[in-house]
C-alpha cells in the first residue's frame, strides 16, 4: 500500500503567520524605541532652556535653547512614529485574520517601511519575498477568509 504524501504548503501558507507576527512586533519595537528616545529629543528641541533651577524658573539661555523655533519637532515625530506603528499593527492583525485586503496592505506597508534602516528593511524584504510574486496573490486568495 503506497504511503500518502504529506500536504504540500505554499510559500505564503508557510510564512504568512510569521510575517504577521513580525509586523506586530515591529510596531511595538518602534513605539518602545521612540518612547526611549523621546525625552532626549524633547530636551534637545526645547526642554534644556532652563539650566538654573534655583533662579526661580528664569531661562538662562531662553526657551527652546538650542533650537528655539523647532519645539514642534518632537510632537511631529511622535505622530509619525505612532502612525507608522499603527499601520504596522493593523497590517499584522489583518494578515493573522487572513483579510482579503491584507496582502495589498502588507505590500504597501512594506514599501513604506523599506527605507527604515535595518529592522524595517529586513521586514520589508521578507514581506515582499512572501507576498509580492504573482503566484503569491493566487495562494493568498485561497487562504483568505471573506
CB 10 within 8 A of CB 133: no
Instruction: Please enumerate in sequence order all residues whose Cβ is within 8 A of that of 45, keeping only pairs 6 or more positions apart, or say none.
Output: 64, 67, 70, 71, 73, 74
Higher pLDDT, 43 or 6: 43
Give me the pLDDT at residue 44, please. 76
Q: What is the mean pLDDT of residues 23-47?
A: 89
Q: What is the mean pLDDT of residues 33-39?
A: 92
pLDDT tens for each residue of 39-91: 888 877 766 655 445 455 555 555 555 666 777 888 899 999 999 999 999 99
Give me the pLDDT at residue 63, please. 57
As a whole number, the mean pLDDT across the chain is 84
Predicted structure pTM score:
0.81
Higher pLDDT, 109 or 52: 109
Query: pLDDT band at 8, cuts 50/70/90?
Result: low
Give me the pLDDT at residue 67, please. 65
**pLDDT exceeds cutoff 70 at 145:** yes
Give me the pLDDT at residue 52, please. 47
Amino acid at each position: 500500500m503506497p504511503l500518502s504524501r504529506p500536504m504540500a504548503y505554499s510559500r505564503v501558507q508557510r510564512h504568512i503567520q510569521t510575517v504577521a507576527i513580525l509586523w506586530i512586533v515591529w510596531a511595538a519595537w518602534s513605539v518602545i524605541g521612540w518612547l526611549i528616545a523621546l525625552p532626549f529629543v524633547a530636551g534637545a528641541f526645547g526642554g534644556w532652556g532652563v539650566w538654573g533651577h534655583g533662579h526661580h524658573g528664569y531661562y538662562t539661555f531662553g526657551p527652546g535653547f538650542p533650537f528655539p523655533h523647532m519645539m514642534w519637532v518632537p510632537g511631529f515625530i511622535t505622530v509619525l512614529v505612532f502612525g507608522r506603528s499603527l499601520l504596522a499593527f493593523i497590517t499584522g492583525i489583518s494578515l493573522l485574520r487572513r483579510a482579503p485586503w491584507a496582502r495589498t496592505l502588507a505590500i504597501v506597508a512594506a514599501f513604506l517601511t523599506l527605507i527604515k534602516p535595518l529592522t524595517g528593511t529586513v521586514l520589508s524584504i521578507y514581506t515582499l519575498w512572501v507576498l509580492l510574486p504573482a503566484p503569491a496573490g493566487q495562494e493568498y486568495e485561497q487562504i483568505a477568509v471573506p
